[in-house]
């Protein structure tokens, strides 16, 4: 994302009220409310300057007022992985987010460890859990309360996640509200102290109300979770859950003009459309106009294929419904092999293409100036890039090892090797380091007609590296993918990706992943119901098969300023983007 600093003067009256431990919510004019997906934005964006501290939502290149925004979580986020997390042990709507997709800090004091969040009130139909994990299958508390459940009051240091994921989990579908503010303390240890009070806050932003709509039930919910709650109660009062707070015998009347008193009319933000048609560079023979499916055993007529392991658990199935359309493979010959593929998430369900059925165009929206040297490309060079952050009008090309057949047929890890390279300039593919280091793990380097480099991508992983091209023209990037079957045999597959840099007729926008499938040569994926008849998979069917669309990923562990041509100073994310799918 492009974090922008928004200066908003915090009134002395509010600051004084916070110091003595009480909080008042300022009246807000009625405004149209927009829905934004949690995985597409930075939820808690703190802007800090010597004069000011503010809290907002960051939506790509602009800060958004939480009071006029609903944050949505899809039904497909429902997972049984939280049943394995200490302190949770129940299915929930699980969003593994990169740390700065959940909480980011920008401004003059962005590096200070004394900045964090203070959660003042929490309400909704169920519990909210917040933790940290090195992948989406691990969980550790991050709040000062040392608990998995987010109960108010609680504080969260801005650097609590480090390089780990932020694990956000909602217990039940419906509407939730969170009242929070950005805070700064003199001693960073205060943010992790279980007994910290607002008296320790050096300064605080104006409180902001965040609304989360979980599943279709949340979108349909017209209630106010904060109804009957005393929003002027001192923040250091004993912790209370939403259920406890709304179950008081004597509801407290809300202040006049409170923006929480009623819900505004919601206007869904229209989805941006992209041209789904993709073509090859002119010198590449296009073998097919249709995306290929994938492999295993043919479906006997009249029988439903067995559901793949790692599908929807019974608890989740009871909430979303059972799968009715099942995948399998027909028409293959010979032994299993690995087949490189490109996953196109511009439509639902996603489609998988052969490499020669799609190319990627990086136009003016991908122009940038390198702040530091990367491989053979000097600092200050004009480049075209696909960053780890999704940018409008730039195809967002990642990598994943999440294909159902990769998970079911191999040990999970897939090694990528740059096996050939041809282009008018240099190519560098890398993830970013920490603490200001531009390059972390280098994947590939190519220049002229040669290239080198390899990387091993762990099991069940989704990653967005940075692809940097030094000159316009057509690049042919040969990648060999190697995996080990569960019987111990190693299999490899090679194909060539095409990038049209500076202009062309390839895919210009949207989310894509380079991956693979394991199948017999010539096998094709088919979908059939329990009677053996062809069917179209629903989201539940895709989730059960382990083929649900990936959540969009956001900015990296670090962002670096780059000069964007025609725009001025901008920010493109340069960091490793890893997401693991719900098994």
Tell me which residues of the chain have a pLDDT lower than 70: 1-31, 60-61, 108-112, 232-321, 348-349, 432-440, 539, 543-583
Residues forming a β-bridge with 562: 570
CB 132 within 8 A of CB 161: yes
In this prediction, residue 513 carries a pLDDT of: 92
Closest listed residue to residue 447, CA positions, set 430, 473, 428, 419: 428
In this prediction, residue 402 carries a pLDDT of: 84
In this prediction, residue 493 carries a pLDDT of: 93
Closest listed residue to residue 157, CA positions, set 121, 135, 190, 180: 190
Q: How far apart are CA 388 and CA 553, in angstroms?
A: 9
Torsion of CA 575, 132, 45, 200, to 10 degrees: -130
In this prediction, residue 147 carries a pLDDT of: 93
Q: How far apart are CA 344 and CA 358, in angstroms?
A: 10
In this prediction, residue 463 carries a pLDDT of: 84
SS3 assignment, position 99: helix
In this prediction, residue 111 carries a pLDDT of: 62
In this prediction, residue 123 carries a pLDDT of: 95
H runs (alpha helix) in 166-241: 215-220
In this prediction, residue 217 carries a pLDDT of: 92
């Amino acid at each position: 994302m492009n974090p922008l600093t928004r200066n908003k003067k915090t009134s002395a009256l509010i600051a004084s009220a916070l110091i003595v431990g009480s909080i008042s919510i300022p009246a807000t004019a009625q405004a149209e409310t927009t829905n934004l997906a949690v995985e597409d934005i930075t939820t808690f964006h703190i802007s800090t300057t010597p004069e000011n501290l503010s809290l907002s939502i960051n939506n790509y290149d602009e800060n958004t007022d939480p009071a006029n925004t609903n944050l949505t979580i899809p039904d497909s986020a429902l997972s049984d992985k939280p049943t394995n997390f200490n302190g949770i042990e129940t299915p929930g709507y699980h969003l593994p987010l990169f740390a700065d997709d959940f909480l980011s800090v920008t401004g003059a004091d962005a590096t200070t460890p004394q900045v964090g969040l203070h959660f003042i009130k929490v309400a909704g139909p169920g519990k909210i859990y917040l933790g940290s994990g090195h992948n989406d299958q691990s969980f550790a508390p991050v709040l000062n309360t040392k608990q998995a459940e987010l109960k108010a009051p609680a504080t969260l240091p801005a650097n609590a996640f480090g390089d780990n994921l932020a694990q956000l989990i909602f217990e039940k579908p419906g509407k939730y509200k969170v009242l929070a503010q950005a805070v700064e303390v003199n001693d960073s240890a205060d943010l992790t102290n279980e007994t910290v009070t607002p008296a320790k806050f050096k300064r605080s932003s104006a409180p902001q109300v965040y609304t989360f709509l979980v599943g279709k039930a949340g979108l349909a919910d017209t209630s106010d979770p904060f109804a009957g709650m005393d929003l002027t109660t001192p923040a250091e009062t004993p912790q209370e859950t939403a259920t406890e707070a709304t179950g008081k015998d004597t509801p407290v009347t809300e202040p006049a003009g409170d923006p929480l008193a009623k819900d505004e009319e919601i206007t869904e933000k229209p989805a941006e459309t992209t041209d789904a048609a993709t073509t090859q560079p002119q010198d590449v023979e296009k073998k097919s106009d249709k995306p290929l499916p994938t492999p295993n055993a043919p479906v006997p007529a009249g029988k439903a294929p067995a559901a793949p392991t790692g599908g929807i658990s019974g608890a989740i199935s009871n909430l979303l419904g059972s799968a009715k359309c099942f995948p399998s493979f027909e028409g293959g010959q010979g032994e299993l092999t690995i087949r490189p593929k490109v996953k196109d998430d511009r439509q639902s369900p996603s489609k998988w293409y052969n490499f020669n059925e799609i190319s990627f165009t990086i136009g003016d929206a991908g122009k940038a100036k390198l702040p530091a040297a990367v491989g053979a490309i000097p600092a200050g060079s004009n480049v075209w890039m696909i960053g780890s952050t999704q940018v409008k009008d730039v195809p967002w090309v990642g990598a994943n090892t999440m294909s159902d057949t990769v998970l079911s047929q191999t040990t999970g890890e897939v090694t990528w090797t740059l096996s050939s390279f041809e282009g008018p300039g240099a190519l560098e593919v890398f993830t970013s380091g920490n603490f200001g280091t531009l390059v972390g793990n280098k994947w590939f380097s190519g220049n002229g007609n040669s290239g080198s480099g390899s990387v091993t991508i762990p099991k069940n992983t989704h990653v967005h590296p940075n692809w940097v091209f030094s000159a316009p023209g057509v690049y042919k990037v040969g990648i060999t993918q190697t995996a080990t079957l569960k019987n111990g045999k190693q299999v490899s597959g090679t194909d060539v990706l095409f990038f049209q840099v500076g202009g062309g007729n390839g895919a210009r926008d949207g989310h894509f992943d380079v991956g693979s499938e394991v199948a017999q040569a010539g096998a094709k994926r088919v979908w059939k119901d329990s009677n053996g008849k062809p069917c179209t998979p629903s989201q539940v069917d895709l989730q059960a098969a382990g083929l649900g669309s990936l959540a969009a990923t956001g900015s990296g562990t670090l962002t670096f300023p780059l000069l964007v041509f025609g725009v001025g100073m901008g920010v493109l994310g340069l960091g490793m983007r890893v997401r693991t799918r719900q098994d």
